[in-house]
Amino acid sequence: TLLSRMRRMGLVEEEGEGEGEDGNKNEDDDPLSSPQAGDDETVWDAVWRVPGLRKRIGGKKLKQVVEEVWRRLKDNESQSEETLDANDTELMTRGVATYQGITEVMVKRIELLVRVMRFLPSVHMLFPLSCVCRSWYVAFLRARSLVGAMDLTSAPKIEDLEFLWHIKKYGKAVRRVDISGCKYLSDIPLLDLCEKSRGLEELRVRDCRRLTDVGVSSILRKHRGTLRVLDVTRCYLDEGAFWHLFSEEGGGKVEVLQCAYCPLGDLFAGFLAQMQRRIKCLNLCGCSRISDFSLSRIIASCPLLSELHLEDTQAAEATLLAMAGEGPGGPGAASLRLETLDISCCQYVNDACLVRALRANTTLTALAISQCRLISDQALIEASQHLRSLQTLLMDTCPGITDAGLSAIAKSNPLLKKLSVQGNTAITDTSVTAVIDHCKKLQTLDLRGCYVSGGLVKEIESRMKTRKES
C-alpha cells in the first residue's frame, strides 16, 4: 500500500521509532504524527487510516506530491531518509489537505455502500459489485470482511481451482460456507479452507458426493470449538469423520446437525448421545442403521431439541416414549418441547406410542406421519385434545385415517396452513368440508387420490382465492 511505501521511503516512521532515550516518543521529531485533541484530524485519519482509501482517494496529484518529496530526499544525500525538513512537511500536508472535502464525502458514500452490501448473503456475490467503479471497489474491500459468508450453491459446476481462488481471496473473513450441490468439489479446497479460516461457524456440504472423511474431519478437528451448523446430507461419510466433533474438548457446541442419508450406525448415535447437549435441530432421515434404542438415547440426551426429522428410520415405541420423557433416557427428556416432528415412513409407529409422544409435546407446529400404516383415527382423535397450534400436517398414504380423524384434527387446529392427505382413499367430502370451514388460514391443500367431488374442489378453489385477495 501507499502507507507502507512511505514508510520504506522514510516519510513515515515505523512503530517504535522516534522515541527518546527515556523511552517516550518525541512528538517534535515526528511532524506526521496523529493530531492532538482539538486539532483538525480529518486529513490523516481519513486518508491513511481508513482501509482501502489510502490507495484510492487523492488521485494522481497526491501521488505526485509523495514522489516529489522522495525525489528531493534522493537528490539531497546529506539529508537523512528518516526525517523531513519543514518545507517538505508543509508540501506533504498541503497536498493531502487539498482533498479534505472530497475525502469526507467519499467516506460517507462508502459507508452507505458497505451497509447495503452487508445484507448480501454471500461474499461470492460481492465480487461483481467491485467492478462497477472505484467507490464500489473500496466498499467491497471493507464489506467482504463483514459479510463472512461464502454461498456457492448458485454455481453447482464450480471446480476445485476456482473454489481455491475464492478461499485465497476471502478465506480469512469467511465464517459460513455453503457448497451444497457442488458435485465436482473434492477434499483439496476443504483442507485449504481449514488452514485459512479463523473461526468457521457454519458448514453445509449437502450432496457433495466427492467429499471424503479426510476433508470433513479436518474441518471438524480445527473448528470444533466454533462450529454451530453442520449439514452433510447425502455425503458418503463414515462414522470416523465425526470423531473430532464428539471429542471432550469440542463437544456440545453444535446446534444444527443434519446427517440425512449418511451410512451412520449405533456407534455414531452413542457418541452423539454422550457429547452433544445443545442440539436444537437434528435430521437423521434415512439413517436406517441406527436402532430404535439408540434413537431414544439421542432424544433423551438433547433437552433443547425443537426440530426432529426421523423419516425412514427404525424409530418405534422406544423413540416416541423418549419424546414423552418415559424412555430409557430417564428424566433428561422430560423438558423436551418439540415444534417440528417428522416420522414419515416409520413402519413400526402405532397409535399408543404416538399419542403419548404428542401429549407431551403440545407445542408442535408441524407434524409429518405420511406412510405410517399402523396409525388410525384413534390417534388423531386423542391428539386433537392436546394439539392446538398445528400449522403443517402431512398424512399421505395412511390407510387407517378416515373422515372422523381428519375432522377432529381440523376442528382443534384453526391455524392450519398446509394440509396433505394425498393417497387416502377413505377421505371424502365430509371431512374436507370441515377442514375448509374451520381452517380459515389454509393456504395449501393436497387431495390427490381422495374421493372428493368436482363441485367441492371448485368451491375450495374459490374460497382460497377469496381469502388470498382479502
DSSP per position, 57-87: SSHHHHHHHHHHHHHHHHH-TTS-TT---HH
Least confidently predicted of 74-88, 362-376, 398-412: 74-88
297, pLDDT greater than 50: yes
Phi/psi for 260 (5° steps) reads -65, 140
Contact assessment for residue 220 and residue 242, using Cβ atoms and an 8 Å cutoff: yes
Taking only Cα atoms into account, the Rg of the chain, rounded to an integer number of angstroms, comes to 32
Contact assessment for residue 232 and residue 259, using Cβ atoms and an 8 Å cutoff: yes
Q: Note the pLDDT of residue 272.
A: 86
For 147-178, write each residue's pLDDT tens digit.
677 888 878 888 898 888 878 877 777 888 99
What domains can you pick out in the chain, each with its CATH number? 376-469 (3.80.10.10)
279, pLDDT greater than 80: yes
Rounded to whole angstroms, how far apart are CA atoms 131 and 119? 19
Average pLDDT over residues 242-265: 80
Q: Note the pLDDT of residue 277.
A: 76
Least confidently predicted of 97-101, 316-320, 402-406: 97-101
Q: Note the pLDDT of residue 58.
A: 47
Q: In terms of Cα–Cα distance, which of 212, 317, 187, 196 is closest to 262?
A: 212
> What single letter denotes the amino acid at residue 114?
V
278, pLDDT greater than 60: yes
Average pLDDT over residues 324-349: 77
Rounded to whole angstroms, how far apart are CA atoms 346 and 205? 26
> What single letter denotes the amino acid at residue 283?
N
DSSP 49: S
Taking CA 416 as the corner, what is the angle to CA 414 and CA 420, rounded to the nearest 5 degrees?
A: 135
Q: Note the pLDDT of residue 75.
A: 58
Q: Note the pLDDT of residue 355.
A: 93
Place of cell 383415527: 377
Contact assessment for residue 375 and residue 402, using Cβ atoms and an 8 Å cutoff: no
Q: Note the pLDDT of residue 143.
A: 66
Rounded to whole angstroms, how far apart are CA atoms 275 and 428? 49
Q: Note the pLDDT of residue 77.
A: 42
For 18-50, write each residue's pLDDT tens digit.
444 444 444 333 333 333 333 333 333 433 443
Contacts of 424 (CB under 8 A, 6+ apart): 395, 396, 397, 398, 399, 401, 449, 450
217: cell is 474431519
Rounded to whole angstroms, how far apart are CA atoms 460 and 434? 11
Least confidently predicted of 145-149, 299-303, 363-367, 378-382: 145-149
Average pLDDT over residues 283-307: 92
Average pLDDT over residues 374-390: 92
Average pLDDT over residues 193-218: 90
Average pLDDT over residues 396-425: 93
Please give the span between the terminal C-alpha atoms of the chain, in angstroms, as a whole number.
60
Q: In terms of Cα–Cα distance, which of 255, 130, 153 is closest to 207?
A: 153
Contacts of 315 (CB under 8 A, 6+ apart): 292, 295, 343, 346, 348, 349
Contact assessment for residue 97 and residue 56, using Cβ atoms and an 8 Å cutoff: no
Phi/psi for 188 (5° steps) reads -60, -50
365: cell is 407446529
380, pLDDT greater than 90: yes
For 213-239, write each residue's pLDDT tens digit.
899 988 888 888 888 999 999 998 888
Rounded to whole angstroms, how far apart are CA atoms 428 and 420? 14
Q: Which helix (H) or strand (E) holds 283?
A: strand 281-283
Average pLDDT over residues 455-459: 89
260, pLDDT greater than 60: yes
Rounded to whole angstroms, how far apart are CA atoms 258 and 418? 24
Contacts of 468 (CB under 8 A, 6+ apart): 443
Mean pLDDT, the chain, whole residue set: 76
365, pLDDT greater than 50: yes
Q: In terms of Cα–Cα distance, which of 110, 40, 105, 14 is closest to 3?
A: 14
Q: Is 288 exposed, middle or buried (0-12, 13-18, 19+ CB in 10 A)?
A: middle
Name the pLDDT band for 327 (thresholds 50, 70, 90). Answer: low
> What single letter denotes the amino acid at residue 39?
D
Q: Note the pLDDT of residue 41.
A: 36
161: cell is 481451482
Strand partners, 445: 419
Least confidently predicted of 114-118, 204-208, 321-325, 342-346: 114-118
